[in-house]
Chains A and B, each alone.
Chain A
Amino acid sequence: MSFEQRLLKFFRTLILVGAIVTGVVLWIVQWSMTRPQTQPIAFSHQVHVGQRQISCFYCHTGAMKGDIAGVIAVQDCMQCHQTVAADHPEIQKISERWFKTKQPIVWAKVYKMPKHVHFSHRVHIAFLSRNNPDALADPGKTICIKCHGDVPNMKVIGAPVSLPMVLTGNMNPNTGMGFCVDCHRANGGPMDCTACHR
């Protein structure tokens, strides 16, 4: 093998290893930015939405009314959990906040929208349910799933529920601009920049 050939092989190996290392680094960066957040209370969407079939709008009351979906107050959690599963250690964490410490719950936000993007939940829900108002009765399966992923099956919100998601690290895929634009293009949404960036 001549020197040139060895040099070429060395560079090929270098490029391959470099590509692999870069890929791994990028994957780690992606994973670290999108991995399931540690929440103060181990709330399970799988139990509430999947098994008990509680409407998303029951807790995210703002979703149908305005821009921000929000989350209900500790008082509202206690409406049910004074009696339902009151012995569960995670529920007792909420009871303690409600009865004793009087502290709000600070959840870690999972689906984040950059500040230069204007997004309204109300407008999108109205559009997605326009031909099927019945979908509003069970939005977790039909409406919210389009952007938020398979929430009814997520034990931890934002956690991967399928192998491709694990491999790509793409747990929170649907809030990128590409996703928005694809959907707007397919459904005839506004395509000018100022529709979202204003």
Chain B
Amino acid sequence: MDITRREFLQWTLVTGAAVTLAGCATPPHQALVSQLELPEYRLPGEARWYASACQECASGCGVSVRVIDGRAKKIEGIPEHPVNHGKLCAKGHSALQALYHPERLTSVTRRGGQSSGWDDAVKALGSQLDAAAAKKGSMLWITRSLHGTQGAVMAALAERAGAKLWVLEFPGTVSQRAAMKSLVGKAELPYYPIQEADYIVNFGSDFLFTGNSPVHDAWAYGEFRQGKKRDRRGTLVSFSPRMNLTDSNSDKWIPVRPGSEGWVAAVLASLVNPSNRLSVPLETVSKITGVERDTFERLAERLRRAQRPLAIAGAQNGAYSNGVWNIAMIQTLNRTLSGKLESFEPDLLTQISGMKPSANLFVSTQEAIAGLEQGKFETIWVLDGNPRYLLPKKINFEALFSKAKNKVVFSNYVNETTLLADWVLPTQTWLESWGDRLIRGPFGEKSEVASVYNLQQPVVIGRDGTMSVPDILLMAAGKSSLNGGLGENLHAVLKSHFSDESEWENSLLRGGAWEPFSIEWEAYLGKNTHPLYPPPTVKKEAKAPSGINIWELLKKSSVADSGEAKFSGEGKVLIPFVSNLGDGSLANRPWMQELRDPLTTTVWTHWVELSYSVAKELGVERGDMVRLTSANGTLTGPAYPNIALHPDAVAVPVGQGHFSYGMYANRGENPLSILDPVWQEGTGELAWVGTRVKVEKTGDKGRLITFDNRWDSYPKEFMPL
């Protein structure tokens, strides 16, 4: 076919136009694909979830740990658990960093640098037990609170060896228990049904952050404020010398003089019910507390009108020399308001060891230090804790500790106390070892008392060269003459709680056993077909075992008539408060160091909180270095002028100031070290808030790493100062 030039150009034009137009058309079908899983969510390996029990504090939260290829990756709460309702606090989450800490101890160390193995260590411990049993009262065990079967094993062994138990904790729970013992005859921790209350007066308890059971209380607080079954939002009023996280969530915060919280409660109790006679006139109490008479009267009127009022005391109230009185007064107010006092307790499970603790098993801090001064203790085992960090320098723990012939420290890491030991035994975290916990309290469906049994299982293989404390003790007992019927290891002891294998397996699957507890999650379990979340084969668990409360051994303390808090020295009252680092044991976890303090947003350091008026008087601005001087030393730190602090107080967080706790912790200063040993009336424990300090400006500028400047942005009417 012949094509002319003209035809060629015509066809080219037509074809080009057609192609161009076709390109402009909208394609009729395009796909939008929902991928099965997003690539960024994919993790190599298969995830398995193991139920266990958090042992970071005494609350008893159930946890579920995600393990991939034998490594623990993430810790979460068990959604159906009656204590924590699926939640978990930062401390529990950070337990992974304790497990995989680069500075963990992995071999038995002996003073003098001799290499030594577990065989030698266990033999030495066995012979020390035998020697102690031959000379009763010559052995001292320093530990934190004992719980569950492992606690019962320890207490039983201590009983057999005639060892004294010194429970050393900051801020500790002894004052709360002593107050409960004097009021209701039971040395248990007070339980506050926050979820049921409609009007709460809080006396400085930081129950949302550092309370006895912060995760449970935070859940309860959510119910209190916006629970579905409520007709209106609950009201929270706080009295405290320093505003803490819970106080900052309250509807009104009223500053009181340090140590006078009990007076506020006493006045309210007398105004609500005049049959509670107040020994001093109201004006005098106003002077003691710094709270105006009107405030008391208005609050009492609100409390009278409230349907379910509640008063809450916390460890901070018990940290004064009059701590027991303070808490007893607050609980008396509670009794006036609602007529009953509830309590909960992590019990000891003593069925296996069959032990009945004798009355002189415990020693208070005051008795322990007196014993150490007299050189009564030949052997000291530090099972848990860091007494050299916690005790004031004035007590001179180094000298007292070195008087003992045998000094054994059980620890995950090198800390201040391990430096003084003859033997340092590397221990395991709760993610690698067996254990359990029994929480008895009003955790039932209708808030009736129920027992919650948590079973703690190893979710990963333990670090080479480490052993769990109860297993070390049981092995040592095996080498001595004391092991009749205590069992070989804790796993065997725990398993013997269960009569049949299926109950044991269900408890492992579910993280324990508790009374039938009905929430919507139960329905979810029935429907769940996810292969990684197999539903428990039975919903109703076996009844949890029963236990005993070892704290019943506390001597009944009479509550003094006078509620005057004693402070030694001159100047401002030093309040060492709990922040993210707990009692300092969390200072070597970077996650906890970089977690902002909830109120000041400070990270990685300590600070000195001064009230605005004091800061103005001294001419101190944020970040200026100030020096606190007590009779026993000085502390220097960057100032944080705080509008929500009583002018009679200065506050410093506890946790920093380690000199031998690894690369993350060796920073800042420790307010506990400059305290005077002031003793609490009735319990013989240290009154952590009992020292006055002089405040001076050093003239230097320090570094205070904060994230914002929020105090200034608060509405002025919220701050009565």
Most chain A Cβ neighbours within 10 Å, of B29, B32, B527, B531? B32
Q: How far is the CA of A131 from the CA of B173 in the complex (A)?
A: 53
Q: How far is the CA of A33 from the CA of B32 in the complex (A)?
A: 17
Interface string of A50-79 (1 = CB under 8 A from B): 000000000000000000001111111100
Interface 9-mer from B19-27, B116-124, B231-239, B404-412: B19-27
User: Is A191 engaged at the interface, CB distance under 8 Å to the other chain?
Assistant: no
How would you classify the secondary structure of chain B's contact residues: helix, strand, loop or mixed? loop
B5 close to chain A: CB less than 8 A: no
Q: Could you give, for residues 81-114 of chain A, a 1 whenever the CB lies within 8 Å of some chain B CB and a 0 otherwise? A: 0110010000000010111001111111100101
- Residues of B1-51 at the interface with A, using a CB-CB cut-off of 8 Å, are 23-38, 41
5 A-B interface contacts by CB (under 8 A):
A73-B36, A102-B36, A107-B31, A108-B29, A109-B30
Per-position contact with A for B519-561: 1 when CB-CB < 8 Å, else 0? 0000010011111000000000000000000000000000000
Identify the interface centre among B23, B27, B37, B528: most chain A CB within 10 Å of its CB: B37
User: Are A109 and B530 in contact (CB-based, < 8 A)?
Assistant: no
**Cβ-closest chain A residue relative to B27:** A112
Task: Tell me the bound Cα distance from A77 to B36 in angstroms.
Answer: 10
Question: With an 8 A cutoff between CB atoms, is A116 at the interface?
Answer: yes
Interface size on B, residues (CB 8 A): 23
* Candidates B27, B36, B38; contact of A103 at CB < 8 Å: B36
Query: Provided the pairs A75-B38, A75-B41, A112-B26 are in contact, do residues A82 and B32 lie with their beta carbons within 8 angstroms?
Result: no
CB pair B528 A74 closer than 8 Å: no
Assess the A112–B30 pair: CB atoms within 8 A.
Answer: yes
Pair A83/B38 contact, Cβ less than 8 Å: no
A77→B38 CA distance, assembly (Å): 12
Given A82-B528, A82-B530, A86-B527: A71 in contact with B26 (beta carbons within 8 A): no
Which single member of B24, B27, B34 contacts A73 (CB below 8 Å)? B34
Q: How far is the CB of A131 from chain B (nearest CB, A)?
A: 23
Question: Shortest beta-carbon distance, A117 to chain B, in Å?
Answer: 10
Q: How far is the CB of A63 from chain B (nearest CB, A)?
A: 13
Q: Which residue of B lies closest to A60 (CB)?
A: B32
List the B residue with the shortest CB-CB distance to A100: B529
Q: What chain B residues lie within 8 Å of A99 (beta carbons)?
A: 529-531
| Beta-carbon contact of A97 and B36 below 8 Å | yes
Question: Known contacts A75-B41, A102-B36: does B26 contact A109 (CB below 8 Å)?
Answer: no
Apart from A73-B41, A109-B31, what 13 extra A-B contacts exist at CB < 8 Å? A74-B35, A74-B37, A75-B37, A75-B38, A82-B527, A82-B528, A104-B35, A105-B33, A106-B32, A107-B32, A112-B27, A114-B24, A114-B26
Q: Given A82-B530, A114-B26, answer yes or no on A107-B37 (Cβ-Cβ < 8 Å).
A: no
Which of B23, B34, B36, B524 has the most C-beta atoms of chain A within 10 angstroms of its own C-beta? B34
Instruction: For B523, give the chain A residue with the smallest CB separation.
Output: A83
A124 to B403, CA, bound (A): 75
Alpha-carbon distance A86/B33, docked complex (angstroms): 22
Q: Using an 8 Å CB-CB cutoff, how does the interface string of A128-172 with B read, 1 for contact, 0 for none? A: 000000000000000000000000000000000000000000000
CB contacts (< 8 Å) of A95 on chain B: these are: 529
CB nearest to A99 among chain B residues: B529
Contact A73 B26 (CB under 8 A): no
User: A33: shortest Cβ distance to chain B, in Å?
Assistant: 7
**Total CB contacts across the A-B interface at under 8 A:** 69
Within 8 Å by CB of A108, from B31, B34, B38, lies B31
Q: Which residues of B contact A108 (CB under 8 A)?
A: 29-32
Interfacial chain B residues near A73, Cβ < 8 Å: 34-38, 41
| Neighbouring B residues of A71 by C-beta, 8 Å | 32-34
**Complex Cα–Cα for A190 and B486 (A):** 82
Within 8 A of A (CB), among B159-210: none
Q: How far is the CA of A149 from the CA of B524 in the complex (A)?
A: 37
Instruction: Find chain A residues with CB under 8 A from B30 CB.
Output: 108-109, 112
Whole-angstrom distance between the Cβ of A98 and the nearest chain B Cβ: 7
B527: min CB distance to chain A, Å: 6
The chain A residue with its CB closest to the CB of B30 is A109
Closest to B527 in A: A86
For the complex, give the distance between the alpha carbons of A135 and B28 in Å: 33
Q: Mark A22-60, 1 if CB is under 8 A from B, else 0.
A: 000000000001000000000000000000000000000
Nearest-neighbor residue (CB-CB) of B24 within chain A? A114
Check if B41 sits within 8 Å of A106, measured CB to CB.
no
Given A75-B41, A82-B528, A99-B529 in contact, is the A106-B35 Cβ separation under 8 Å? no
Chain B residues within 8 Å of A105, by CB:
33-34
**Least CB distance, A89 to chain B, in whole angstroms:** 15
User: Which of A73, A95, A114 has most B Cβ within 10 Å?
Assistant: A73
Q: How far is the CA of A72 from the CA of B30 in the complex (A)?
A: 17
| CB nearest to B520 among chain A residues | A83
A83-B524, A83-B527, A86-B527 known; A74 vs B34 contact (CB < 8 Å):
yes
Q: Using Cβ atoms and an 8 Å threshold, which residues of chain A touch B29? A: 108-109
| Chain A residues with CB under 8 A of B24 | 114, 116
Q: Which of chain B's residues have a CB closer than 8 A to the CB of A83?
A: 524, 527
**B residues within 8 A CB of A82?**
524, 527-528, 530
Q: Are B527 and A107 in contact (CB under 8 A)?
A: no
Q: Which residues of B contact A114 (CB under 8 A)?
A: 24-26
Per the bound structure, the CA–CA distance linking A141 and B452 in Å amounts to 48
User: Would A104 and B23 be within 8 Å (CB), given that A82-B530, A99-B529 are in contact?
Assistant: no
B contact residues around A103 at 8 Å (CB): 36
Closest Cβ neighbor of B40 among chain A residues: A73
Cβ contact within 8 Å between A107 and B26: no
Contact for A109 among B32, B524, B529, CB less than 8 A: B32
Whether B23 and A74, one on each chain, are in contact in the complex, defined by CB atoms closer than 8 angstroms, is no
Contact, CB under 8 Å: A33 / B37: no
Could you tell me the distance in whole angstroms from the C-beta of B557 to the nearest C-beta in chain A?
Answer: 51
Complex CA distance for A68 and B41, rounded to whole angstroms: 19
Query: Could you say which residues of chain B place their CB within 8 Å of the CB of A106?
Result: 31-34
Q: How far is the CA of A102 from the CA of B36 in the complex (A)?
A: 7
Which of B25, B28, B31, B33 has most A Cβ within 10 Å? B33
B38–A76 touching, CB < 8 Å: yes
Alpha-carbon gap, A71 to B38, bound state (A) = 10
Whether A33 touches B34, Cβ cut-off 8 Å, given contacts A82-B530, A83-B524, A116-B23, is: no
In the assembled complex, the CB of A71 is this many whole angstroms from the nearest CB of chain B, namely 5
Q: Which of A33, A70, A74 contacts B36 (CB 8 A)?
A: A74
Query: With a CB–CB cut-off of 8 A, which chain A residues contact B38?
Result: 72-73, 75-76
Q: Report the minimal beta-carbon distance from A45 to chain B, rounded to whole angstroms.
A: 14
Taking a contact as CB atoms under 8 Å apart, the answer to whether A75 and B36 are in contact is yes
Nearest CB of B to A152, in Å: 20
Q: List 9 tightest A-B contacts by C-beta distance, closest first.
A: A109-B30, A105-B34, A107-B32, A109-B32, A75-B37, A73-B38, A73-B35, A74-B36, A106-B31
> What per-residue 1/0 map shows which CB atoms of B615-631 lie under 8 Å from chain A?
00000000000000000
